[in-house]
Structure 1
């Protein structure tokens, strides 16, 4: 599913359960030594997916430890992103000669809990979602917005090492599977050019709403 909204340069691995062969490397064990079973399974399986993606890129298996603000620390030469939710785990990786950054998010395709949309969206975004809902009621646009904001942050952070709040980016969706995120704060300078926003793709399948952003290397 997730590979359908990412460019060909990205290796994507996804699963819908926790396979028994998914194990942690010794360096990762202390991170979840005291975690509840659900957290441990998510943490383990998503790293299992990431190491499968490493193998496809010809990269030896390596520990993936949480770094600054919990962002995964990737081997040299690799950019990537991971996501997990109930019934779904995924990792996507690419060479840093192909992409500057990548951000994905997946969420159960159900409405946001009451009150959450107001906390994660701008007033004009809520107007936009209402218009989309009038034309397509089989998509939970509020959950897609949440996933889109998460993807924006995951694409943004490796380029800036700075926090980005929900109100710091404005998202507009296209019903055909695309979206645009306009940054409302100063963006990162990449290859001498300030990034003022991101473009991404979205999909809904198998009960999951997923979003993805890939920032290419300037030609």
Structure 2
């Protein structure tokens, strides 16, 4: 489903049900061996999605281990992101000559718990979310904002290896075009000779889920034929 909001420069694989007989690499098993059943299922299915996406890039499956902040550690020459929530697991991958950063997130299309919006949103964002809720009540815009901020962080961290707080990016959501923008309120890194000042992304609400995705293109693309992105 996430392929709907992705460019042709990346590949994707997703799942709505867990693979109960999925096999992990020994290194992955060591990470998840003592986890509760729910965590094991989401971890395993997300890794199987990542392996499928790796095959779509023409690469052999390898262990995808979490880094110091839980970020997936991809093999050399791969840029990507993983997400999972109740009823959804997904992975999106690309190659550095095509994309510089990828960040994806999935959330249930449900309102945030009490107090969370105030904790994650800047005053301007809170005002815009309340306006969106009045104008378009079928979508839980507070949760979409949270998802967009998660995608921003997932795109940001591999470029910087630094934490990015919720208040460090100002999100603007376009309810009609299915897009959002993020303006960084802290100094960004140099990426291909340019200072990073923000991200742009797309969102989708379908089947009770909210999906957000950021795919930041590399300035000069390699000449390649388009790949199939669906999974």
Superposed pair shares fold, TM > 0.5:
yes
Q: Is 1:23–1:45's contact at 8 Å kept on the other side of the alignment?
A: no
What is the alpha-carbon distance in structure 2 between the residues aligned to residue 37 and residue 193 of structure 1? Answer: 44
Per-residue deviation, residues 117-149 of structure 1 (Å, max 9, x unmatched): 111111110001111122211010000000000
What is the alpha-carbon distance in structure 2 between the residues aligned to residue 37 and residue 121 of structure 1? Answer: 32
Instruction: Look up the match of 2:208.
Output: 207
Instruction: Look up the match of 1:192.
Output: 193
TM-score by length of 1: 0.98
Instruction: Look up the match of 1:120.
Output: 120
Instruction: Look up the match of 2:144.
Output: 144
Q: Is 1:188–1:195's contact at 8 Å kept on the other side of the alignment?
A: yes
Tell me the CA shift for residue 80 of structure 1.
0.5
Structure 2 counterparts to residues 92-107 of structure 1, below 5 A? 92-107=92-107
| Regions of 4+ moved over 6 Å | none
- Secondary structure (helix, strand or coil) at the match of 1:61 reads coil
Question: Does 32-41 or 12-21 show the bigger shift?
Answer: 12-21
Structure 2 counterparts to residues 46-85 of structure 1, below 5 A? 46-85=46-85
Superposed CA RMSD in Å reads 0.8
Per-residue deviation, residues 59-105 of structure 1 (Å, max 9, x unmatched): 00100001131111001100010000001100111111100110000
Which ranges of structure 2 fall in alignment gaps of 5 or more residues?
221-231
Tell me the CA shift for residue 21 of structure 1.
4.3
Instruction: Look up the match of 2:36.
Output: 36
What is the alpha-carbon distance in structure 1 between the residues aligned to residue 61 and residue 90 of structure 2? Answer: 17
Size of the aligned set, in residue pairs, is 219
- Secondary structure (helix, strand or coil) at the match of 1:7 reads coil
What is the alpha-carbon distance in structure 2 between the residues aligned to residue 106 and residue 95 of structure 1? Answer: 22
What is the alpha-carbon distance in structure 2 between the residues aligned to residue 131 and residue 188 of structure 1? Answer: 33
Instruction: Look up the match of 1:90.
Output: 90
What is the alpha-carbon distance in structure 2 between the residues aligned to residue 159 and residue 207 of structure 1? Answer: 32
What is the alpha-carbon distance in structure 1 between the residues aligned to residue 145 and residue 210 of structure 2? Answer: 10
